Amino acid sequence: MSYPQVSATGRGDVPASPRFPEVEEAVLAYWESDDTFRASVEQRESGPGGSNEFVFYDGPPFANGLPHYGHLLTGYVKDLVPRYQTMRGRRVERRFGWDTHGLPAELEAMRLNGIKTTDEILELGIEKFNEACRASVMKYTGEWREYVTRQARWVDFDNDYRTMNADYMESVIWAFKQLHDKGWVYEGFRVLPYCWNDETPLSNHELRMDEGTYRNRQDPAVTVGVRLTSGEHEGALALVWTTTPWTLPSNLAVMVGEDIDYVVVEKDGSRYVLAEARLGAYERELGEAEVVARTTGAALAGSTYDPPFSYYRGHENAFRVVTAEFVTTTDGTGLVHTAGAFGEDDKVVTDREGIEAVMPVGKDGRFTAPVAEYAGMQVFDANAHIIDDLKAGTGSVTPGTVLLRRETYDHSYPHCWRCREPLIYKGVSSWFVEVTAFKARMAELNQQINWVPEHVKDGQFGKWVENARDWSITRNRFWGSPVPVWRSDDEAYPRLDVYGSFAELERDFGDLPRDRDGNPDLHRPFVDELTRPNPDDPTGRSTMRRVTDVLDVWFDSGSMSFAQVHHPFENEDWFEGHFPADFIVEYMAQTRGWFYTLHILATGVFDRPAFENCISHGIVLGSDGEKMSKSLRNYPDVSEVFDRDGADAMRWFLMSSPILRGGNLVVTEQGIRDGVRQVLIPLWNSWYFFALYANAAGHEATPTTASSDPMDRYLLAKTREYVEATTAQLDAYAVADACDSTRGFLDVLSNWYIRRSRERFWATGSQGGQVDEAAFGTLATVLDVLCRTTAPLLPLVSEEVWRGLTGGRSVHLADWPDAEELPADPALVSAMDQVRAVCSATSALRKAEQLRTRLPLSSLTVVVPDPATLEGFEPIVADEVNVRAVRLLAADSEEAASYGVAQRLTVNARAAGPRLGRDVQSAIKGSKSGDWSVAEDGTVTSGGLALVEGEYTLETVAEAAEEGTALGVLPGGGFVVLDTRVTPELAAEGLARDVVRAVQQARRAAGLDVSDRVRLVLGGSEGARAAAEAHADLVAGEVLATSYSVTAEPVDGESATLADGESVTIRLERA
């Protein structure tokens, strides 16, 4: 037997530095042929009533676009957590889902058919159009599958769910009916953000989803005077200001603030009314005007005026000054033009005032009758014409109306997240879910959800729920789940029926909606074809017809928790055990999207949350910190990264980053490579080391945890702590923390245990020593446990290493390691960790003092609170940092005090400021004057104020060390003092060790095997020769020289430069 026991690559050896992408491709091919994924699900029992299942809901992506980094990131989490839970023994089914309806699909179908408007869709025919939609949405499923498979995400594509399937849609209309029956669905005319280009309203949460929806835009702003026709200031011009001149033809009222102070000013015979606070802003036009009167909003209210345009002259209750609480004097004139149907607040006020909204703008955003002059013009295009008419008093401008000012105005303005055109606010008829009726319950149920990061619960999500508005769920479009409402087409005989199943439809209509092949299908136009006589109409003339709208796609995806299994029509038992989900994950903005709509529907329909744990991650940014952009090429190409560094490297980069703690992440190639260096290479090197020496010794390791060697015991106990930590972290969905633990553990394994234990593995086989079974057994145990722990984090490379080590089928079929099976030794771990800290601090000192490690130094003094814990470890420290003597000293001893080491407190004003306010100055003063202390429990008090973690840094600082020493502080208390004086004798040994290194390099260059003996002749500079002679035994022993001479004669061989300007010349041959 030799290692690897098996390899997916088919290689018989363990390469020293493999191409990870090649290893990955081989593992992926193995998984496919072995059907490992299915086995990993199947080998775990569901348990009674599904009690052993871990339920994961896949948030469905749109399938008519290619996957991007965001999907990649989410996909890794969607893989990692289920892999972990599987190893913990749970059964985790993973079904891929597709979001198939809605605008993305319709826009693509329109593009393919070369059409631009909904009228053209009707001309083409809804059936043909929807066929095109259906074809377009599954266009990239192949690419998705390849991409997801390459990233090593295990998910069932064959048994996927699609929101356009008849079963799924039946569950969707069932949910609509549930809400309707509870009285939480209503039809209303409301002002909504509206895309004139896509001819559809958007819901408010769609506006808040994407950071790109609010963008800067320049609009014309006008200040218009309308003539007051009654009241105390009759004849004066009330000045209104608007950035939507196109809404002026629909003006219905002027709003003022009840308590705002207004002035009437006179200039050139005209009087103007505006807020006193805004007078200064009109310096240019009204600078010399004289204030002739003062008034308030309350006094102005009730005055009538002539509308700026005459289209709606005589409109009932209109053209009055009314009060509204949201009027401010931050910009404009303090008088606000209102057009009822084109602003959310406007609509509230005109409703209150009994003014019926007017709507001279069509669904395409173009003017209609009676606004004759601009009919057919898109509203933004009409702005310029309207302003021209206002200026000239032409068209239908009411005589006496004045254009006081026109300007351009830069503001942040909402755009369509789909087509990027600027939105308008427009009154539309829509059906709503009355979220406001049960949002208090949503807030209560939200408290049952564990959010990662935690602040999302009462922050981004909680606040959004608290301020929830009713949800506009219908779209006057084509490709979607139908609004299941049939209505009488004669108002004289009203009737409204809501359907929640195929069976109900069949009962009333005698048949199901069917496609041309006869299959039940709830899509338009088939569902629209179901009509019947109105049972409430004795004349028999009116007909029940479906409301033609379709449902918002977010209603589809929000129904996923029950619709994916066709609840309540099928899988009743399954559903009971699988709702709510244990776990979902998407990016942060889904707090206004999918997380939100899932929660609305789960609360409204089931009075339960839809999910128990939710990771809400940040977004990935390009290497320049900006949004990723194909045209800017500001991010590494995914395929290139897969081919160069591998999918595990990418997974590690994303999973270990702040992005899973809710922060955003800049993607750089360097960051990805750092992960390879910090994790993949140490993991592989540890395995390579093990395999190399086990094979050299012809030894098959027997895993053991019984070694008595202190290094082995330390490593095993450290492994136990590592398993405990990662288990707790992954149980808490703290993925990045688990990555931190793994990185730290790999450092211990490769940079401490293996490096310091090399000789125990070397001293075997050909060199005549005994195989150190304890060392091999320990390392085999640790590698096995390590791979099982890294399996969810690095699934591909862990698989190759684990199978090579154990010969097993798959690490993903193995159980998560049990920390209890490893020995605990907290005292040893703590002591050795301190030893490592001492060595690391000392190495840092050497680096700073430019004293190379090969140069021996005379002594190191280690000052710690409890030196007894380090007794016995001095030889390890001495060897590791190359000093002759290590001295332990108690931190509270007199000698320790003589080093002048102290703690320093720094208050972080930026962190403490928000909490402490002005008191932060007292805390800072205290930290500087020494008026501060650390209590037993660690509480830091400064200037009489207790500080909390993060608001300060506490560091140990040393006074300038005494000549000939260097001083470094240890994390967690204590410090080290290194004697930096180099005697001639120490210098000579250092040189001799440089010579050893030069000879070792020469041996490798000559292609010698590590165990080959050599005959060696050394020449070179005088100092080097002297050192090589003085330390002949050391040099000869280290380089396995059977004959050894140093000569002043020229030597024919390789030269090498050593420290201190010395050099050596080496001639060697195999003995």
Catalytic residues: 60, 99, 554, 590, 594, 627, 630
Question: Which residue minimizes CB distance to Zn ion?
Answer: 416
Size, binding site for Zn ion by CB under 5 A: 6
Amino acid at residue number 25: E
Q: How far is the CB of 152 from Zn ion (least distance, A)?
A: 36
The beta-strand segments (E) located in 916-1052 are: 932-934, 940-942, 945-947, 952-958, 965-969, 975-979, 1014-1020, 1041-1046
Contact window for Zn ion (CB under 5 A) among 46-54, 196-204, 293-301, 595-603: 196-204
The sign of the CA dihedral 19, 25, 28, 30 is negative
In the bound state with Zn ion, the residue whose beta carbon lies nearer, of 194 and 246, is 194
- Phi, psi at 471, each rounded to 5°: -100, 120
Q: How far is the CB of 364 from Zn ion (least distance, A)?
A: 12
Q: How far is the CB of 197 from Zn ion (least distance, A)?
A: 5
Strand, coil or helix: what is 933? strand
Options 25, 93, 167, 198; binder of Zn ion; rule CB under 5 A: 198
Amino acid at residue number 634: N
In the bound state with Zn ion, the residue whose beta carbon lies nearer, of 110 and 589, is 110
Q: How far is the CB of 417 from Zn ion (least distance, A)?
A: 8
Contact window for Zn ion (CB under 5 A) among 137-145, 154-162, 411-419, 1039-1047: 411-419
In the bound state with Zn ion, the residue whose beta carbon lies nearer, of 419 and 844, is 419
Sheet holding 1054-1057, edge to edge: 1041-1046, 1014-1020, 1063-1070, 1054-1057
Options 118, 151, 178, 197; binder of Zn ion; rule CB under 5 A: 197
CA atoms of 578 and 57, how far apart (whole Å): 9
Amino acid at residue number 923: A
In the bound state with Zn ion, the residue whose beta carbon lies nearer, of 198 and 712, is 198
Q: How far is the CB of 266 from Zn ion (least distance, A)?
A: 47
Two tokens at 10? 């088919």
- For residues 519 and 577, is the Cβ–Cβ distance under 8 A? no
In the bound state with Zn ion, the residue whose beta carbon lies nearer, of 77 and 416, is 416
In the bound state with Zn ion, the residue whose beta carbon lies nearer, of 380 and 932, is 380
Residue 114: other Cβ atoms inside 10 A: 8
Beta bridge partners of 189: 429
Chain positions 952 to 981 lying near Zn ion, rule: CB under 5 A, are: none
In the bound state with Zn ion, the residue whose beta carbon lies nearer, of 415 and 523, is 415
Q: How far is the CB of 301 from Zn ion (least distance, A)?
A: 39
Question: What distance separates the 2 farthest-apart alpha carbons in the chain?
Answer: 127
Residue 820: other Cβ atoms inside 10 A: 10
In the bound state with Zn ion, the residue whose beta carbon lies nearer, of 197 and 251, is 197
Contact window for Zn ion (CB under 5 A) among 136-144, 408-416, 651-659, 747-755: 408-416
In the bound state with Zn ion, the residue whose beta carbon lies nearer, of 57 and 129, is 129
Pairing of strands 185-195, 200-201: antiparallel
Strand, coil or helix: what is 62? strand
Contact window for Zn ion (CB under 5 A) among 190-198, 404-412, 438-446, 975-983: 190-198
- For residues 456 and 591, is the Cβ–Cβ distance under 8 A? yes
349 binds Zn ion (CB under 5 A): no
**366 DSSP assignment:** B
Chain positions 101 to 130 lying near Zn ion, rule: CB under 5 A, are: none
416 binds Zn ion (CB under 5 A): yes
Q: How far is the CB of 195 from Zn ion (least distance, A)?
A: 3
Contact window for Zn ion (CB under 5 A) among 415-423, 766-774, 858-866, 898-906: 415-423
Rg (CA), the chain: 38
Q: How far is the CB of 372 from Zn ion (least distance, A)?
A: 28
CA atoms of 99 and 65, how far apart (whole Å): 11
Query: CA distances (Å), 415 to each of 10, 103, 194, 587, 900, in order?
Result: 55, 15, 9, 21, 63
426 binds Zn ion (CB under 5 A): no
- For residues 425 and 342, is the Cβ–Cβ distance under 8 A? yes
Which burial class, exposed, middle or buried, applies to 310 when counting CB atoms under 10 A from its CB (0-12, 13-18, 19+)? middle
Contact window for Zn ion (CB under 5 A) among 193-201, 426-434, 462-470, 603-611: 193-201
Q: How far is the CB of 117 from Zn ion (least distance, A)?
A: 13
Q: Which residue matches tokens 């990016």?
A: 587
Q: How far is the CB of 375 from Zn ion (least distance, A)?
A: 23
163 binds Zn ion (CB under 5 A): no
Two tokens at 880? 């590791």
What x/- string results for residues 266 through 285 when contact with Zn ion is judged by CB under 5 A? --------------------
CA atoms of 356 and 186, how far apart (whole Å): 20
419 binds Zn ion (CB under 5 A): yes
Q: How far is the CB of 196 from Zn ion (least distance, A)?
A: 8
DSSP 1020-1043: E-HHHHHHHHHTHHHHHHHTTEEE
Q: How far is the CB of 107 from Zn ion (least distance, A)?
A: 8
In the bound state with Zn ion, the residue whose beta carbon lies nearer, of 198 and 772, is 198
Contact window for Zn ion (CB under 5 A) among 188-196, 289-297, 640-648, 856-864: 188-196
Q: How many CA atoms are closer than 13 Å to the CA of 207, on its beta-carbon side?
A: 22
Pairing of strands 611-617, 450-452: parallel
**282 DSSP assignment:** G
- For residues 200 and 591, is the Cβ–Cβ distance under 8 A? no
- For residues 190 and 430, is the Cβ–Cβ distance under 8 A? yes
477 binds Zn ion (CB under 5 A): no
Closest CA to 355 of 339, 369, 371: 339
In the bound state with Zn ion, the residue whose beta carbon lies nearer, of 475 and 617, is 475
- For residues 649 and 20, is the Cβ–Cβ distance under 8 A? yes
Contact window for Zn ion (CB under 5 A) among 191-199, 779-787, 790-798, 943-951: 191-199
In the bound state with Zn ion, the residue whose beta carbon lies nearer, of 118 and 323, is 118
667 binds Zn ion (CB under 5 A): no
Options 63, 137, 195, 775; binder of Zn ion; rule CB under 5 A: 195
Query: CA distances (Å), 381 to each of 214, 493, 706, 916, in order?
Result: 21, 43, 83, 53
Two tokens at 188? 């209303």
Rounded to 10 deg, the angle between the 681-696 and 773-790 helix axes is 150
CA atoms of 28 and 22, how far apart (whole Å): 10
Q: How many CA atoms are closer than 13 Å to the CA of 757, on its beta-carbon side?
A: 26
Q: How far is the CB of 416 from Zn ion (least distance, A)?
A: 3
Which residues have CB under 8 Å from 491's CB, separation 6+?
none
418 binds Zn ion (CB under 5 A): yes
In the bound state with Zn ion, the residue whose beta carbon lies nearer, of 170 and 198, is 198
**Residues at the interface with Zn ion (CB under 5 A):** 195, 197-198, 416, 418-419
